[in-house]
Copies of this chain bind each other. A is one copy, B any other.
Amino acid sequence: MGFSLRGMMRPSVLVEISGGSTLVVLRSKSARLSLRPSLSLSLSSYTAAAAAAGRGSGEVRWTVIGGWTAPATGQGLAPRVPFPIRFKSVSASSALRQGMTEHNDSGIEQIQLLDGFQDSYGGVTVEMKEHMDADVFAPLLRASISSWKQRGKQGVWIKLPIEYSHLVDIIVQEGFRYHHAEPNYLMLVRWLAETLDTLPMNASHRVGVGAFVLNDKREVLVVQEHSGWFQGKGVWKLPTGVVNEGEDICDAVVREVKEETGVDTKFVEVLCFRQSHKSFFTKSDLLFLCVLQPESSAIDKQNVEIEAAQWMPIEEYAKQPFVVNNKQFNFMANICLVKANHGYPGLSARATTSGGGKRNYIYCNKPEVVENFASLM
């Protein structure tokens, strides 16, 4: 009934009916699609798709959006007998458990859609949480993209755990690009709208900390490094490290000093910071030089990264030829000297909360003045 059948089609074909807003996805082992110039679609044993447009008869335009055939558009005769179409979005995992398809009373198989949650910017995010074979996933993704487009979604995000790396290529072939990756997952994105792509950028900076720990004998805590750029150069440098994911700068610098030298310290303030570019592939780097108050003096150095650690007179540290001849090191050493010898207004850390209730730190000068300012007005 309805369309007549010609040519050859892969088992899984998705048909989108443009006569209405409803997406109809058919999957039929007996269906065939001819790829001749005058395309015709037929579903031999089904009262087919066009009823989805809400019209009992007449012509509808249709587009083949899925399967492994090339996308194509065309027209066909509407079926003579309308039937109910169920349109249901389910999670990938439940679709899998249900065998991907549902049979309704008319014998139609409907491929279901990937389930995504919405963001406040008009986008949708899909998190793949269970294994799915590539040949099951591919038509599901195509049907879902079509549905999201119809529903006016702009950006689509797919979070794909590394266990499902066999699906990366399929997603890329559907027009997605990489957004970011963490060790255990890859995030892929596609902008669906006709408007300018406003998907936010990935993280662009690594954040490091340097520790200026001065004791009451005007000695500064310094280390020599085993590997990397400073290896074998004999340069005594301030302990430095990378801020961990989710870690506050004021905590990271205390942790790094303890790890590298065994010395306990208390965060006092940020003296200055340096931004540099292309320090790690295409990424930038922010280094915060912090003043720490020592709370112990015995050195118990870590062996993996640190060759040596000691307390050293601050002038001796600042006069090392490498420090004097490297503009950046020299500048930072001078800041330390100014701090040790004069007043230098550093940035203290003050805990605040965001609108969403998350605790965070603001680093600023004169925090007491700032905190009391409202009452001065």
Binding site for B on A (CB under 8 A): 120-122, 162, 165-166, 168-169, 172-173, 177-187, 196, 198, 200-207, 227-229, 231, 242-246, 248-249, 271-278, 280-284, 286, 304, 315, 324, 326-332, 334-335, 337-338, 342, 344-347, 350, 352-355, 358, 360-366, 369-371, 373-374, 377
Asked whether A345 and B342 contact (CB < 8 A) given A181-B179, A203-B206, A277-B246, the answer is: no
B370 touches A338 (CB 8 A): yes
Give complex CA distance A163, B183 in Å. 21
**CB neighbours of A344 from chain B (8 A):** 365-366
Of B204, B274, B345, B364, the contact of A205 (CB 8 Å cutoff): B204
B198 touches A304 (CB 8 A): yes
Closest CB pairs A-B (n = 8): A272-B364, A178-B181, A181-B181, A165-B172, A276-B360, A345-B345, A203-B283, A334-B373
Of B178, B205, B338, the contact of A185 (CB 8 Å cutoff): B178
B274 touches A334 (CB 8 A): no
**CB neighbours of A353 from chain B (8 A):** 327-328
The A contact surface, by secondary structure, is mixed
Give complex CA distance A344, B368 in Å. 12
A121, A186, A244, A324, most chain B CB atoms within 10 A: A186
Asked whether A369 and B338 contact (CB < 8 A) given A180-B281, A203-B206, the answer is: yes
Q: How far is the CB of A332 from chain B (nearest CB, A)?
A: 7
A357 to B, closest residue via Cβ: B327
Asked whether A277 and B196 contact (CB < 8 A) given A354-B328, A369-B338, the answer is: no
Give complex CA distance A350, B331 in Å. 9
Asked whether A360 and B180 contact (CB < 8 A) given A328-B352, A370-B331, the answer is: no
Give complex CA distance A44, B183 in Å. 44
If A121-B227, A200-B242 are given as contacts, then 10 extra A-B residue pairs at C-beta distance below 8 Å, sorted by A number, are A165-B168, A165-B173, A168-B168, A181-B186, A201-B206, A203-B284, A204-B243, A205-B286, A276-B360, A330-B374
Give complex CA distance A244, B326 in Å. 27
Asked whether A205 and B205 contact (CB < 8 A) given A168-B169, A178-B162, the answer is: yes
A207 to B, closest residue via Cβ: B205
A186 to B, closest residue via Cβ: B178
B121 touches A228 (CB 8 A): yes
Contacts A/B (CB < 8 Å), 19 sampled: A120-B231, A165-B172, A178-B186, A200-B206, A201-B244, A204-B207, A204-B244, A205-B243, A207-B286, A246-B282, A246-B284, A248-B277, A272-B362, A273-B363, A275-B361, A277-B358, A327-B352, A338-B370, A347-B347
A272 touches B365 (CB 8 A): yes
Give complex CA distance A258, B157 in Å. 31
Asked whether A204 and B206 contact (CB < 8 A) given A169-B169, A271-B364, A330-B374, the answer is: yes
